[in-house]
Structure 1
Amino acid sequence: MATDQRFTGNAMNRDETPPGFPWQESPVRIFLSGDVMTGRGIDQVLPQHVDPEIYESYVKDARDYVRLAEKKNGRIPQPVSYAYIWGDALEVWRKMAPDLKIMNLETSITNHPEPWPGKPVQYRMHPANVAVFKTAGIDFCTLANNHTLDWNREGLLETLQTLRKAGINFAGAGENALEARKPFIHKTRNSRIIIFAYGSESSGIPGNWVATTTNSGVNLLPDLGEETLGMIKAQVKAIKKSGDVVVFSVHWDTNWGYEIPPNHRKFARQLIDEAEVDLIHGHSSHHPRGIEVYKDKLILYGAGDFINDYEGIGSYEEFRGDLSLMYFPEINPVTGKLISLKMVPMQMRNFRLNRASAADAKWLSSVLDRESEKFGTRVTLQEDHVLTARW
């Protein structure tokens, strides 16, 4: 058998593997995205939609977000198909053929009419529109974020029921603390991918959203201290077996800016060093942040938005929130080490994901390389406008 050329540089030595290990079939390829917000304006253009009334400071009708987008980039055909919003991403997924598609769902799926009291921004979409995720073949949603309970606990329960009925897996929220903490396990041909989903108050999650023994809610990190680390270490130890890839998906930090808090970097490294986590999937930032590969393990501090209805909103333009990345890490399940990382630049335009232009891909590559170099990782733009990581 010829040596698989993908196992070079950062992969383990072939001689270190168990006899008969299936080298040609061993890599695990995952798709990761940042925040997916299919409520408000997105919901209003889909085949079904909730009552457009919202309770924000400046916007009272979700259709205003549609008007803003159309004012900037032209008419959006309504209603759009469930495939429409994914646009060019569908072809990217077909070519990359990931073993698992993971996203952070920042939208309540409910018809419940009452938002969380005092919550300044509310995302919800009609339960029938869950078909949009089925169309994209999404396998898993993390729900430990600051929009899961936008429409109260009744809205959360309907979200959970709708996802279950649609056969879409989730973690990070539940009807009680036990369910909210439960990881998701995905079986591949040669290994398992285990996902733990947590949220942090630093991302704007209200403290009283935490799931308890008697209340539904999100799986909230108490802090980033040693006791919390020990708790996660025990969770991973209780379930991880040889050949498993453990993903720690966490909603943390602010929406804008490139600075990574030192305690986040320390905690991410501790998860790898002490808790046997193989990949940290961080999200909450509205734009991609710097990438670190620590001991050959991938750390995404902020994956950036993937789907949103911000088109036409004039703020923070310097961060180019309209640009996003489709992350495709390839991992050796024997060691949990990163083999390669490809990132496909996309742009949200007319509420649809489009392949980014050559100029936008170059800009995103330059920014990501600048921010990742601080952590010893370099980002390179390839001829096909795909970004790759070197470490």
Structure 2
Amino acid sequence: MRITFLGDITCDRNLLKAGYKNNKYNYKQVFSKVKNIFDKSELVIGNFETVCAGSKNNFQEQFMICNAPDEIVEAMKWAGITMVTTANNHCLDKGIKGLQRTIQCLIKYGIDYIGTNLDKNSRKHFSVKVVNGIKIAILSYTYSTNETSTGIILDENNDWYVHLLREQGKIYNESSKKIKIKQYLSKCMTAKRKRTLKRIFSRIKLRLGIPYMKPRNDQIMPGDTNNKYLDQVKKDIADAKEIADYTIVCPHFGGQFNTEPGEYSKFLMQFLRNEGVDAVIGNHPHVIQKYVCINEQILAYSIGSFNQSISSDYMVLESMPEYSILIHFYFEESTKILKKATFSILKIIENDDGMITVWPVNELYSQLNNSLDKKNLIMDIKNIYKRFTGNNTEMLREEYVIFSIGDKSVQSIF
């Protein structure tokens, strides 16, 4: 029995436009080359990093605000994705109603979810999927909901909508002067005006040849290591372990486009490891970061974005955002033991119209005719493999082994 995890599922403006033809949206092309991989797994789980708030709320016409057509979910279902995590920094991009409609859209297409909730009474702290008699618990949390961009701050009166890792509504900065400026601007401007101003500055910088975004390093802020939300995470994990045979946490954390985990990521990974989870599948940086395997406890900081539009202004191309990872877990049904864990490498190919096709690198290699293109792909794969595992490889494979029963090699960075 196999379950598979993929990275961030998105719908940037370039892909949004590319998917609209003959007065309708269609995104099956995005998943067409990985569908056969998903079909081999009983459970396929991704991070749904957008909302489906409906066409009346406008699709992604605003800078850095996500809203995708329902057809992206339809394509996910067609491809064989069975579940998504929904606790991420874009889950409130269209407000509480947008969050609720997203859940309703996922339910409509028969895709399970964890990380957000319709209301207080329907909150799920974790989801247990029973596959061939094996109980797999999935938990999802986020460090942020972009509260400074949306203007929505969750507190004790409404924080049940999203599974959080830290308190919201605080502005942290080394300079007290900068704090006062931000607080003043927050009072004077709506969230939409702040986004508009940010977009203007970003466009000016791009025209001057200054990149919109650079790799970010996630720091530990006051309250990050001891708060009521982490206490809830501890309780959720303990409750899940009482029920499940295998417990997996999918946190949304880390520095965007940073190929190395930051202080906060390392703290949170150690925190989750100490709570005894079996695996951690991280997302949010939009690029691949390393994994660690300690006594068959698999800890992946970031497996990258599954289908981000590489032509977007805010891409940091030197971090190789066009690559992502699939992680596969193989269980023995009779004993319910994890027998093997592997990973596959994927690459995003974007055509001139902005349409994306996500390829397994071994299949992409077989389709290339130019020897230079093949050489460059192999070099990229070696770099990605080195970044993810810390080791070198000379092989091009459909799946690379993380561990297999009988291979007791142990790595440690803690």
Q: TM-score by structure 2 length?
A: 0.69
Matched, 1:121 2:64: yes
Query: 1:278-327 CA deviation, whole Å, 9 max, x = no partner?
Result: 11110001111111112321111011100122336485221121222222
Matched, 1:369 2:382: no
Q: Distance between the aligned counterparts of 1:329 and 1:362, measured in 2?
A: 27
Q: Distance between the aligned counterparts of 1:92 and 1:220, measured in 2?
A: 32
**Number of positions where the alignment pairs a residue of Structure 1 with one of Structure 2:** 327
Match for residue 232 of structure 2? 231
Match for residue 246 of structure 1? 247
The Cα shift of 1:35 comes to: 0.8
Query: Does the aligned pair in 1 maintain the 2:4–2:41 contact within 8 Å?
Result: yes
Q: Measured at CA, do residues 294 and 269 of structure 1 come closer, stay the same or move farther in structure 2, by a change above 3 Å?
A: farther
Report the AA paired with residue 45 of structure 1: A
Query: Does the aligned pair in 2 maintain the 1:176–1:215 contact within 8 Å?
Result: no
The equivalent position to 1:384 in structure 2, one of 354, 379, 397, is 397
Query: 1:95-114 CA deviation, whole Å, 9 max, x = no partner?
Result: xx122111111111122645
Q: Which runs of 4+ in 1 moved over 6 A?
A: 77-80, 332-336
Matched, 1:83 2:45: no
The Cα shift of 1:232 comes to: 2.1
The Cα shift of 1:211 comes to: 7.0
Match for residue 162 of structure 2? 218
Alignment of 1:146-165 (within 5 A): 146-165=89-108
Match for residue 282 of structure 1? 282
Q: Where does the alignment leave 5 or more consecutive residues of structure 1 unmatched?
A: 1-27, 49-76
Q: Distance between the aligned counterparts of 2:385 and 2:377, measured in 1?
A: 12
3-state SS in 2 of match to 1:260 = coil
Report the AA paired with residue 384 of structure 1: R
The Cα shift of 1:181 comes to: 5.0
Match for residue 339 of structure 1? 340
Alignment of 1:289-300 (within 5 A): 289-300=289-300
Q: Distance between the aligned counterparts of 1:317 and 1:289, measured in 2?
A: 15
Match for residue 6 of structure 1? none
Match for residue 258 of structure 2? 257
Matched, 1:41 2:14: yes
Q: Distance between the aligned counterparts of 1:259 and 1:158, measured in 2?
A: 35
Query: Does the aligned pair in 2 maintain the 1:149–1:217 contact within 8 Å?
Result: no
Q: Measured at CA, do residues 364 and 242 of structure 1 come closer, stay the same or move farther in structure 2, by a change above 3 Å?
A: same
Query: Does the aligned pair in 1 maintain the 2:31–2:76 contact within 8 Å?
Result: no
Q: Distance between the aligned counterparts of 2:296 and 2:397, measured in 1?
A: 25
Match for residue 103 of structure 1? 46
Match for residue 139 of structure 1? 82
Query: Does the aligned pair in 2 maintain the 1:343–1:388 contact within 8 Å?
Result: no
Query: Does the aligned pair in 2 maintain the 1:290–1:368 contact within 8 Å?
Result: no
Query: 1:183-222 CA deviation, whole Å, 9 max, x = no partner?
Result: 1111011311111110003x85659453755467321112
The Cα shift of 1:266 comes to: 3.5
Q: Distance between the aligned counterparts of 1:388 and 1:258, measured in 2?
A: 21
Report the AA paired with residue 276 of structure 1: G
Q: Distance between the aligned counterparts of 2:291 and 2:240, measured in 1?
A: 27
Alignment of 1:177-192 (within 5 A): 179=122, 182-192=125-135
Query: Does the aligned pair in 2 maintain the 1:29–1:98 contact within 8 Å?
Result: yes
Query: Does the aligned pair in 2 maintain the 1:247–1:280 contact within 8 Å?
Result: yes
The Cα shift of 1:176 comes to: 3.4
Q: Distance between the aligned counterparts of 1:101 and 1:379, measured in 2?
A: 28
Matched, 1:198 2:141: yes
Q: Measured at CA, do residues 379 and 290 of structure 1 come closer, stay the same or move farther in structure 2, by a change above 3 Å?
A: farther
Match for residue 185 of structure 2? none
Report the AA paired with residue 123 of structure 1: C
Q: Measured at CA, do residues 86 and 361 of structure 1 come closer, stay the same or move farther in structure 2, by a change above 3 Å?
A: farther
Query: Does the aligned pair in 1 maintain the 2:141–2:164 contact within 8 Å?
Result: yes
Query: Does the aligned pair in 2 maintain the 1:140–1:169 contact within 8 Å?
Result: yes
The Cα shift of 1:251 comes to: 0.6
Q: Measured at CA, do residues 258 and 128 of structure 1 come closer, stay the same or move farther in structure 2, by a change above 3 Å?
A: closer
Query: Does the aligned pair in 2 maintain the 1:247–1:279 contact within 8 Å?
Result: yes
Q: TM-score by structure 1 length?
A: 0.72
Cα RMSD between the aligned structures?
Answer: 3.3
Query: Does the aligned pair in 1 maintain the 2:4–2:44 contact within 8 Å?
Result: yes
Query: 1:335-364 CA deviation, whole Å, 9 max, x = no partner?
Result: 876732222332332311123335425423
The Cα shift of 1:367 comes to: 3.7
Match for residue 32 of structure 1? 5
Q: Distance between the aligned counterparts of 1:177 and 1:364, measured in 2?
A: 45
Match for residue 93 of structure 1? 38
Q: Distance between the aligned counterparts of 1:166 and 1:258, measured in 2?
A: 35
Match for residue 12 of structure 1? none
3-state SS in 2 of match to 1:160 = helix
